[in-house]
Structures are given as structure tokens and as C-alpha cells.
A and B are shown apart, each in its own frame.
Chain A
Amino acid sequence: MSGELYWGLPVIGYLFLAGVGAGAVTVSSYVLLRGGGGRFAGAHFSLARYGALLGPFPVMLGTGMIIFELGRWDRALNLFKLINLSPMSIGSWLLLLFMTITVLYGATFLPPGAHRGDRLEGARRGLAWVCMPLGIGVAVYTGVMLGAMPSRPFWNSPILALLFLVSSLSTGIATIILGRALVHRKGADRAAEKQFHESGYLLTVSDVMLIGLELMVIFLFLMFAHLTVGGVKEAVSIILPGGRMAAMFWIWVVLVGLLLPALLEMVYVVPPLFYHRSFAAPRSVEVVVPVSVLIGGFMLRYVVVVAGQITGPVGI
């Protein structure tokens, strides 16, 4: 087994932060475009605003980290002299476009009194139509990048990109929930308070579904790797019971990052879903849930990036 970590914390941090930002912007533009009007119109606009304003920052921070990791920042410009079929090349261009467009998209929410149907609405919706595919692209390419190498059996799985996409959307929603919970002040206006909780319900239900999907994807990832023979089976055994990274994976990614937030969310989601109660999660829950989802998202990147390298090329 080779043990050299060529990609360390800056890359892991980038994969996590780019996923968070891309997920938040994707969710924001989806809610803006498909949230509909009616009594939810204001609440959906507010959700989209959180995603649009929070999303670009983690992506920029993460990008800064990997450019710094290169040793000489100016060399990163070589990426933009051409485009080829390398996932990293396509990803760099996607990232450049994403950062440009999301800054513009976020700016349309900035004017004081911005609301649905104001004079920037056309530009906002047009940019949202571009942001959504770009966000999905940025979230997916990181998984494609790792998966593109037959020399790294742990990464060489077509479902890794889907895992990263689902995790990105989930951590993106978590960022919006966290931002709302930290910024929101309880008002005297009962209607506004009800609307706040109703849009919180939308976010929480979506997050529960994404976490369920993520557990399914992880199950398929592990199962298909375990059921094969050779390098892939041996590589995945590192996170299966008895493996060197098993405790880290099962405790931090699955337990803290997926099961704990999913169960907490279910406590508040099930009553409105089955018994027509109104949804109202306390602020403490709306902080704990997204923080554990974000921890899980980071640890997922950590385990995948490290495991892929220490189980690296084997055989001769």
C-alpha cells in the first residue's frame, strides 16, 4: 500500500466548500424558479436570497485554498490557456463561470427592498437558469475527477460523483438552514413567523429526503465494491468494519453526518406530514442539524480523499 498523501487538507477543504457553495446556489436557483407563487412566494424568495448570498463565499474560499496549495498561485492561470477533456480542466472552467455568474446572481438580491417581481426579477431569473446547471456541474465534477482514475480503486466508482452531488445539495440546504437560524429574529408578526416555519419545513423535508438518498448511494458504493474481487474490494475494506478508517467513516460520516440529523429532522417533520400539525423547529435544532450535516459533509470528503490515496496503486 502506498501511503503518500499528495492531496491533503487544502484539497479536502476545497471539495467540501465547493460542494457547500454549489449546493446552496443550486437550491437557491431551483427554489426561485420552481418555488411558485401564492402564499409561499415571499418565503421562497427569502430562501433563494439566503442561498444566493451565502453560496459564492465557500466556493471562493475553497478555490483560494487550492490555488494556494499549488505553491505558486500564478501557475493556476495555465488552466485557462486551453480546455481539454480532463475533468480538472472542465471543472476549472465551470468554476470560473460559476464564480462569475453567482456573484451577479447574488447581486440581484442585494438592493434594499428586493422582492419577487421587482425590476431585477428578469435578470435574477435569467441568471438562476444559468446558476442551476453550473452549480450541479461544480458539485458533480469533483466526484468525476476522483473517479476518473483506474489506478485508484477506491475512487474508481461511477457512483462517487452522485454521492458528492447529493452530499453537496444536502450541505447546501444545511447552510441555508443555518444562515436562517442565525439571522432570524422572532417578530411579533404571526403571519411572518408562520411563513418562516413553513419555508423551514420545505428545507427540512428536502434535507431528510437527500440524506435518505445519500445513505442509499453510500450503501450501493460499499456493496458493489465489496462484492467485487481484487483491488476495489481490498480498497473499500479500509472503511468496512475492521478497516483502518472504519471508525472515522461510520461515526463521523454516517452517524454524526447522516443518521443524527435525519432523526432530529424526522422528529419535527413527521407530525406535520402525517398529523397535519404545523411545523415549528426550535432554533437550537435548526443549528444542531445543519452543523452536524456540515461536519458529515467534510468528513465524507476527508475519508474519501485519504482512503483513495492510502489504498492507492497496488500490484506490479
Chain B
Amino acid sequence: MADEREIGGRESEEVCPAPGRREAIQALAGGLAATVAVAAATALSAPPTEPAPRNGRGIQYGMVIDVRRCIGCHACTVACKSEFDVPVGENRSWVEYVEKGEYPYVGRSFLPRLCNHCSIPPCVYVCPTNATYKRPQDGAVVVDVGLCIGCKYCIQACPYEARFLNPITGAADKCDFCLHRVSKGVAPACVSTCVGGARIFGDVSDPESEISKLIASERVTVLRGEMGTLPNVYYIAADHTDSIDARRPEVRQVEVDNHRRRKHWR
């Protein structure tokens, strides 16, 4: 696990243009210039010994969440909030609770949530200023606060409610896979803090990575696969019981508490 983090870290550090530079380039000549600059930076800074991207693909960071190991303790929620000083009332990562059944046949399951860093991200396609974009070097979907105008279009477009408007910056905010940590070879805050080891982070396009082996060998699901967004956060043993089920008359006693904003269904 440490290996692939370090590989990812090196790439991220070298290829990622500083926010200021990116903004200046955008200001001068728009998206085309930025693309050219990123391509040029890749060509210039890639060490000659670096192997070609595996399977013709670059790095795509992803996460596997093994729900069997989750105890619903919210340590990831708290670690994320303190890591980014997320304003009260909002979360970049959170844990949803699903309770169902009637005594004595009852069940409770947890669903840790974060941005899915989709391979086809609807938020990116609607952003009018290219402030939110999928990083070509590692596949993380991030927000450039300097370009974001706070129009909230991406918040509307996300099928996972993974985004919110940061009341302090006035810009869209979301999970960024802790790129500041990953670039130093450290795991994201939620992964480091998880007491049960339920969160596994890595490069899903590297077939040798721990995360790829897990995805290959376990029965994994993604959230709302029917949306066609190709999420890069996979779940093992997730209970997909949701608010739609809670409203079904034939299924009794389902309560979903997403701990994001105060909402209850019964």
C-alpha cells in the first residue's frame, strides 16, 4: 500500500501546476493553453526511467470502502473536518446510517461517503469556468477556488450530493482525496484515521495495487451505477437500502440518517 502511494505522490508533485500558475494561464489564453501547458509539463518533468502508463492509462486514484469493517464511529468525518477546517453544518466525508426491520429482526449498516471522483464527472461538464476539473495526472476531481464563481451548478449536477457551497470562501467545496497529503506519500486523513481499516486508498488503474486486487477479488458495488458516472469509490458489502426503499409501503421500518444535513425518512 505504501508503494503505490509513493508512486502516486511523486507524479502528483511533479506534474501538478501550482494553483496560481494555472489561474494565470487560464486568464491569458483559456483551456487550450492550459492543456498544452500541462502536456508540456508532463513531457518535461517525467523522468526518463518512468515506465509508460499502465494499460495505456494514467493514474486514477480511487478508494475501496469495506463496509464490513466500518463501525460507524465517524472518525473519518471528524478527521476530514479538522484536516480541512470544514465549516459547521457541512462535510466533505460523512457516514450514513441505515436502520431497518422490526424487533427482534433488525439491522443497522453504515455507509461512509465521499466524492466518487467519477471517471465521467457530471460536475465537471457543467462548470462554466473550468474551475472544477478532473486532474489528468491522477484522476482526482478538484475545485480551483480562484476560478469558481459560486454559481452552484456543480452542486445541482452531482448525483451524490458530494458537494456544498463553502460559506467562508463562497466557492464549491468537496473531497479532494487529500492531495496535499497524498503528494507527500501520506494516506488521506480519513484512511489514516479509520480504526477498522475500512478505507483503502490507491491507484485503481494499477493492476498490482492493493486496491485493484481487492476490486478484482471481492464483490464490489458503486453508488448509483445507473447514472453512468463511473465512480472510483467502490464498496464491499454496502447495503444500498435508501430513501426510495424507506417510502415503499411493503418495506417497513427503514430509517436512513445521512448525518449530512438533518433529514429523516421513515
A227 located at the interface, meaning its Cβ lies under 8 Å from any Cβ of chain B in the complex: no
Which one, B13-21, B36-44, B239-247, is touching chain A?
Answer: B239-247
Tell me the residues in window 145-180 of chain B with beta carbons closer than 8 Å to chain A beta carbons: 147-153, 155-161, 165, 170
A92 located at the interface, meaning its Cβ lies under 8 Å from any Cβ of chain B in the complex: yes
The digit string for B123-153, where 1 denotes a CB below 8 A from any CB of A, is 0011111110000000000000001111111
Residues of B within 8 A of A315 (CB): 224, 242-244
Given A4-B261, A7-B152, does the pair A92, B128 have CB atoms closer than 8 Å?
A: yes
Q: How far is the CB of B237 from chain A (nearest CB, A)?
A: 14
The digit string for B194-232, where 1 denotes a CB below 8 A from any CB of A, is 000000000000000000000000000001100110000
Residues of A within 8 A of B72 (CB): none
Given A7-B152, A313-B161, does the pair A85, B125 have CB atoms closer than 8 Å?
A: yes
Q: How far is the CB of B164 from chain A (nearest CB, A)?
A: 9
In the complex formed, the residue of B with least CB distance to A149 is B157
In the complex formed, the residue of B with least CB distance to A1 is B243
The digit string for A1-37, where 1 denotes a CB below 8 A from any CB of B, is 1111011000000000000000000000000000000
Residues of A within 8 A of B111 (CB): 316
- On whether the beta carbons of A309 and B122 are closer than 8 Å, the reply is no
B54 located at the interface, meaning its Cβ lies under 8 Å from any Cβ of chain A in the complex: no
B101 located at the interface, meaning its Cβ lies under 8 Å from any Cβ of chain A in the complex: no
In the complex formed, the residue of B with least CB distance to A86 is B128
- On whether the beta carbons of B149 and A89 are closer than 8 Å, the reply is no
Which one, B3-11, B26-34, B80-88, is touching chain A?
Answer: B26-34
B57 located at the interface, meaning its Cβ lies under 8 Å from any Cβ of chain A in the complex: no
Residues of B within 8 A of A145 (CB): 153
In the complex formed, the residue of B with least CB distance to A3 is B263
Q: How far is the CB of A189 from chain B (nearest CB, A)?
A: 52
Task: Give how many B residues have a beta carbon under 8 Å from the other chain's beta carbons.
Answer: 40
- On whether the beta carbons of B224 and A82 are closer than 8 Å, the reply is no
A282 located at the interface, meaning its Cβ lies under 8 Å from any Cβ of chain B in the complex: no
Cross-interface CB contact of A309 among B30, B156, B263, cutoff 8 Å: B156
Interface residues on A, range: 35 or more
- On whether the beta carbons of B243 and A81 are closer than 8 Å, the reply is no
Given A1-B243, A6-B165, does the pair A82, B170 have CB atoms closer than 8 Å?
A: no
Residues of A within 8 A of B240 (CB): 316
How far apart are the CA atoms of A123 and B153 in the complex, in Å?
A: 38
How far apart are the CA atoms of A188 and B112 in the complex, in Å?
A: 78
Residues of A within 8 A of B122 (CB): 149-151
Residues of A within 8 A of B153 (CB): 86, 88, 145
How far apart are the CA atoms of A6 and B170 in the complex, in Å?
A: 12
Cross-interface CB contact of B227 among A7, A70, A88, A151, cutoff 8 Å: A151
- On whether the beta carbons of A70 and B129 are closer than 8 Å, the reply is no
Q: Is the interface of A mostly helix, strand, loop or mixed?
A: loop
- On whether the beta carbons of B156 and A76 are closer than 8 Å, the reply is no
Cross-interface CB contact of A79 among B129, B158, B228, cutoff 8 Å: B129
Residues of A within 8 A of B31 (CB): 82, 84
Given A2-B263, A85-B125, A92-B128, does the pair A151, B159 have CB atoms closer than 8 Å?
A: yes
In the complex formed, the residue of A with least CB distance to B152 is A6
Tell me the residues in window 274-316 of chain A with beta carbons closer than 8 Å to chain B beta carbons: 309, 312-316
A71 located at the interface, meaning its Cβ lies under 8 Å from any Cβ of chain B in the complex: yes
Cross-interface CB contact of B129 among A4, A71, A81, A91, cutoff 8 Å: A81
Q: How far is the CB of B206 from chain A (nearest CB, A)?
A: 28
Cross-interface CB contact of A313 among B131, B159, B165, cutoff 8 Å: B159
A61 located at the interface, meaning its Cβ lies under 8 Å from any Cβ of chain B in the complex: no
- On whether the beta carbons of A150 and B150 are closer than 8 Å, the reply is no
Tell me the residues in window 77-97 of chain A with beta carbons closer than 8 Å to chain B beta carbons: 78-79, 81-89, 91-92
In the complex formed, the residue of B with least CB distance to A146 is B156
- On whether the beta carbons of A150 and B159 are closer than 8 Å, the reply is yes
Cross-interface CB contact of B156 among A83, A149, A314, cutoff 8 Å: A149
The digit string for A149-161, where 1 denotes a CB below 8 A from any CB of B, is 1111000000000
How far apart are the CA atoms of A14 and B155 in the complex, in Å?
A: 19
How far apart are the CA atoms of A209 and B9 in the complex, in Å?
A: 63
- On whether the beta carbons of A81 and B156 are closer than 8 Å, the reply is no
Cross-interface CB contact of B242 among A85, A87, A234, A316, cutoff 8 Å: A316
- On whether the beta carbons of B156 and A86 are closer than 8 Å, the reply is no
Cross-interface CB contact of B243 among A71, A76, A314, cutoff 8 Å: A314
Residues of B within 8 A of A71 (CB): 150, 170
Q: How far is the CB of A265 from chain B (nearest CB, A)?
A: 36
Given contacts A314-B243, A315-B244, 11 further A-B contacts (CB under 8 A): A70-B170, A71-B150, A79-B149, A81-B147, A84-B130, A88-B126, A89-B129, A91-B128, A151-B158, A151-B159, A312-B156
24 of the cross-chain contacts (CB-CB < 8 Å) are A2-B161, A6-B152, A70-B150, A71-B170, A72-B150, A78-B129, A78-B148, A81-B26, A82-B130, A86-B125, A86-B128, A88-B126, A88-B128, A89-B128, A89-B129, A149-B157, A150-B227, A151-B157, A152-B156, A313-B161, A313-B224, A314-B242, A316-B224, A316-B242
Task: Point out residues on B near A: beta carbons under 8 Å.
Answer: 26-27, 30-31, 96, 111, 122, 125-131, 147-153, 155-161, 165, 170, 223-224, 227-228, 240, 242-244, 261, 263
Task: Point out residues on A near B: beta carbons under 8 Å.
Answer: 1-4, 6-7, 70-72, 75-76, 78-79, 81-89, 91-92, 145, 148-152, 234, 309, 312-316
